[in-house]
Each structure stands twice: as C-alpha cells, then as structure tokens.
Amino acid sequence: MLLVKIAWKNIWRNKVRSFVVITAISLGLWAGVFGSAFVQGMMKSKVEDVIQTEMSHIQIHVPKFRDEYDGSLYMKNGSEIADALRAKDQVEAVSERMISMGGLASSRKNGMIKLVGVNPADEKHVSDIYTKVIEGSYFESKKKRPIILSEKTAEEYGIKMNSKIIFKMLDVDGQMTDIAFKVVGIYNSGNPMYDKMTAFVKLDQMRQGFGIETGSNEIAVWLNDHNQSETIAHDFQDKYSDLEVLPWMDLSPGMRMMIEAFDVYLYIIVGIILVALLFSIVNTMLMAVLERVREIGMLMAIGMTKNRVFKIIMYETVFMTMIGAPIGLLLSGLTVGYFGKNGIDLSGAAYEAQGFGSTVFPYLDIESYINVTIMVLFMAVLAAVYPALKALSLKPVEAIRKI
C-alpha cells in the first residue's frame, strides 16, 4: 500500500512528465479508436450503399440465370415464392423482378442494357433507387409504357425525357421482340458502372415482352436485420433447393474479398498505431526513469529493494494509464460521435466516380471499441516494463554520484 501511495505522489511531483505520458496514452487510444472507426465507417457506408441501391439483402434466381441473363431461366411460381417469403418474420419486404439483357438503339448509339421490370410499390421497399430520380418521377406519370433511364445512359444515347425508345429483347422461347417505351424519369445512383447498364420498366410490361403471364427471374428480399443475411439465405437455400439463394456478399464477386481484405487492413492500421504508441511511451518513460537516476539510487541506498522500485514504476504507469484512458475514450467518443453525425468530407477523392458518397461517417461497434481499448492499455503498461527494468540495473552508489 505504501508503494501505491509513493507511486501516486510521484505522479504529481513532476507534472510535465506525467502530462506527457498521460497525453501519449490518451492520444494513442484516440488514434486507435478513431483510425479503426474511420476504416470501419468507410467500409460500412460502401456496403450499405451497395445493399440499399443495388443488391438488397438476398436475391433468388434460377441457377445459372446470372451468368448470361437467359430469359428462359425464370421462376414460373415467382409470385408464390414471393408471398411465402413475405409471410416470414425476418423478412421486411420482397420484390419480384423480370430482367432482360437486350439491345437499346438510338440515333447516336447501339448497345446492350439491362432492363429491370419492377413493381414500383414493392420495389421501393428493397431499393432506394426511387430516391435518386433527378428528373421526372418514379413511375408516377400516367404514361402507358414508362421507362426510367440513368442520366448516363440518356446522355450516351442522346435520349431526352418523354422521348420514345425501342428495346430489343429475346422472349422466353428465344424469339426476338421489340417493345417501345417512353422515358418518364431519369436517375443517377452515383455509381456509373451500375448506371451504365441499368434501366427500369414496369413488371407486367416486362412479362409481356417475355411472353409470359406470371413468374419472375429475380426476387429481391429485404430483411429486418442485415447481419442475418447469410444465415437466412442459407435457410432459404435449403427450402428452395432447386433455386439459387444468395446473400448480398455473394452477389458481386469482388464483395466478399473486399470485406475480408478490409479486415486485414484494419489489423494493420491498429497494429501500426499501437507500435507508434508503444514507442512513444517507452521513450517518455525511459527518459523519466533515467532522469530520476539520482532519486532512485537514493531510494536503493536507503534500503528499498529492486523489486519495490520496479513495482513503484509499474504502479505509476498503471495510474497514468488509468487517468489517460478515460480522457482518450472521452475524446474518441466525442470525435467519433461528432464526425459520425456530420461526416468527414473527402470530396477531393474520386469517390463519386466509383459510386460512393464522398463523405465518410466513422463508426465503431462496441466490440471493436473494447478490443482497441484493451490493446492500447495493455501496450501502455507493457511499454513501462523496459524502462522499469533499466532502473533496476542501476547501482545505488554510481547512481547517486551522477550529478
């Protein structure tokens, strides 16, 4: 107990030294937390953007449909499946789609485009595309055969609002058909890769084009909890074994890799910050110990054992860590909270071109918060071991002799 008291008093005896160590610890903690939050927030918003606009949580197709968008591969009982899914507790919304990869021609350009037939009322619950309409409206007009194009497609093909376009597609039997549409809306999702390919029409008109009455070739599912996507997709897959049920991370081939690679990246970042912190504390403590050579020598000379000297120094570190940690946590809580709400604007970057918003909202889950904190505190205490050991190697007489 005496040692604890001495250590506590020592901290306040030399305020500059303690201030440096305490600040190093709180700053290190802040850096660890904020750095991780930044990376995690970035990842989260990228993933959420993709889920909300393009993928929804789970998609169901006939196997191989996704390879080439072959029109004959559709679910004849699509509506029944959709209704069955809607009845489930975990499912919030379901939207049936009929998709065709076909030719779009204008006076300026001939090209391929992915035409997605949707039921607007259902679709609004699984994709936020309707919020990204910049001209016209999302199927609110009374026009007979409405189509919504991306701004990019409209520009590329030289198509304006209200103009008529012809879409060439193959029906379920492989026969070529033409359908005419009128442009009622223009959207911009922010992701040019997606925009370049995708346009929307009404589901029943798409079915007509395919020459069928019912059925769909894609069912998009929105869940209550997005973390459950993988397990629920798995359950559905067991139930509909002749279909292909995929969670969002498997819908795009690069997605899973991106997520995994980000985890690795996060470890590297936290690792580097921890090493930087370790070194800056070792340094300060080393200086603090060596500065006190005379004092420590004196303590040893009047009979304090090495063991006790070591303990004093360690106690001091633990105390300073205990003071620094809450400050650091408070600081990180405030900054992550503030930027989490207001975002960090990185509009200098080419984000938009890649389809992501240019603002990053840092975010850290409780688990990582705790992990980072424990790691930083552990590092701080670890950092004191070397300087403390160094103090032990002092010989009392020589130590006192020094200035």
Residues that bind other proteins (CB under 8 A): 14, 16-17, 19-21, 23-24, 27-28, 31, 34-35, 38-39, 42, 67-68, 193, 253-254, 256-257, 260-261, 264, 268-269, 272-273, 275-277, 279-280, 283-284, 286-288, 290-291, 344, 346, 348-351, 353-354, 356, 360
> Least distance in Å: CB of 36 to other proteins?
10
Whose Cβ is closer to other proteins: residue 44's or residue 207's? 44
Question: Quick one: which of 313, 316, 310, 321 has its CA closest to 277?
Answer: 321
> Least distance in Å: CB of 256 to other proteins?
6
Whose Cβ is closer to other proteins: residue 3's or residue 258's? 258
> Least distance in Å: CB of 185 to other proteins?
27
**Distance between CA atoms of 184 and 167, rounded to whole angstroms?**
15
> Least distance in Å: CB of 307 to other proteins?
25
Whose Cβ is closer to other proteins: residue 26's or residue 52's? 26
**Distance between CA atoms of 127 and 206, rounded to whole angstroms?**
19
SS3 11: helix
**Distance between CA atoms of 159 and 155, rounded to whole angstroms?**
6
Task: Please provide the size of the chain in residues.
Answer: 403
Letter for the amino acid at 13? R
> Least distance in Å: CB of 78 to other proteins?
25
SS3 99: strand
Whose Cβ is closer to other proteins: residue 3's or residue 266's? 266
Let me know: does 273 contact 372? Beta carbons within 8 Å: no
Whose Cβ is closer to other proteins: residue 8's or residue 267's? 267
Whose Cβ is closer to other proteins: residue 118's or residue 278's? 278
Q: What is the largest CA-CA distance in the chain?
A: 101
The pair of structure tokens assigned to 190 is 């922010």
Whose Cβ is closer to other proteins: residue 24's or residue 206's? 24
> Least distance in Å: CB of 35 to other proteins?
5
Let me know: does 34 contact 335? Beta carbons within 8 Å: yes
**Distance between CA atoms of 38 and 32, rounded to whole angstroms?**
10
SS3 209: helix
List Cα–Cα distances, 20 to 28, 31, 51, 271, 311, in angstroms: 12, 16, 45, 22, 21
> Least distance in Å: CB of 138 to other proteins?
28
> Least distance in Å: CB of 26 to other proteins?
10
Whose Cβ is closer to other proteins: residue 27's or residue 304's? 27
Let me know: does 119 contact 203? Beta carbons within 8 Å: yes
DSSP β-ladder status, 176-187 and 146-150: parallel
